[in-house]
Amino acid sequence: MAEIKIAAENRTEFGKGAARRIRRADKVPAVLYGSGIDPTHITLPGHDLALALKNSNALLSIALGSDTHLCIPKQVQRDPLRGVIEHADLLLVKKGQKVTVDIRVHLVGEALPEALVVTENSTISVEAEATHIPESVEVSIEGLEVGSQIHAADLQLPAGSSLAIPGDWLIVNVIAAPTAEEIEAELEAAEAEAGIEHEPSDEELEAAAEAEAAEGEGAEGEGAEREAAEGASADGGTAGGDSEEE
């Protein structure tokens, strides 16, 4: 991994007010620590640091006065709404030194159509040289069938890296993909539990209208039949009366 060079300044002001002034100047308060030295408080250019930390395990070369320090980000605090970096803890490292870091699990390939791939752990902890930290580990799911599992011990780690987690950690679990009916039933149950009233679809409205029309036609038919029967009864009664008068 290539070193990313950033120029830093010593920080002499502390406290919330000082931190706000630093951020208004588009800088970030940070701390350098490790390697048996006292923590050093510094400020870093906000834009440069944000670009560098697009890779969470970036190897930084911090120029401070006449000295240069190799370090990796250990803890980064961000604004929960804007996402901007508010503070950074940087761990000093040396070439050849082993460090424990978290790297991403990157899935490649496609499982069988009836399978649903569940990533149980999207990152894993590995031990690697500070100057050769891998960005991610690739995990092939090509052709996996329902019931397949991939554990940490099954991963092919980059050269120079080793697992820092138990080998039986489940990374990928392949289960049966739910049917459309199961998804619809789960959605309806979730809506009902949340108190969400289901808006009828165009198809449901059309079906309801057709049912109402059919019901109306049936009622009209029954009414016509009833009128016809009553009319016939009345005609029969009139004929009987005429016969008696004769």
Query: Which class does domain 100-177 fall in?
Result: mainly beta
Which tens digits make up the pLDDT trace of 44-66? 999 999 999 888 788 999 998 88
Q: d(Cα 56, Cα 101) in Å, to the nearest integer?
A: 9
- Find the farthest-apart pair of alpha carbons in the chain and give their distance in angstroms, rounded: 138
Q: Is 82 helix (H, G, I), strand (E, B) or coil?
A: coil
Q: Which residue has the higher pLDDT, 19 or 163?
A: 163
CA 234 to chain centre: 77
Beta-ladder partners of 117: 174
pTM of the model as a whole: 0.64
Q: What angle do CA 147, 125, 174 make, to 5 degrees?
A: 10
User: Given a cut of 60, is residue 238 above it in pLDDT?
Assistant: no
DSSP 223: H
Q: Which residue has the higher pLDDT, 240 or 11?
A: 11
Going from the C-alpha of 139 to that of each of 99, 143, 165, the distances in angstroms are 23, 12, 17
Least confident of 11-20, 136-145, 147-156, 199-208: 199-208
Q: What is the CATH number of domain 3-93?
A: 2.40.240.10
Q: d(Cα 172, Cα 138) in Å, to the nearest integer?
A: 12
Which tens digits make up the pLDDT trace of 79-106? 888 888 899 999 999 888 899 999 999 9
Rg over alpha carbons for the chain, rounded to the nearest Å, is: 37
Cβ neighbours of residue 61 closer than 8 Å, sequence gap 6 or more: 3, 4, 5, 6, 68, 69, 70
Structure tokens at 187: 């959605």
Q: Where are the domains of the chain?
A: 3-93, 100-177
Which tens digits make up the pLDDT trace of 23-52? 888 899 999 998 777 889 999 999 999 999
Q: Which residue has the higher pLDDT, 90 or 206?
A: 90
Tell me whether the CATH fold assigned to 3-93 matches the one assigned to 100-177: no
pLDDT level of residue 246 (50, 70, 90 thresholds): very low
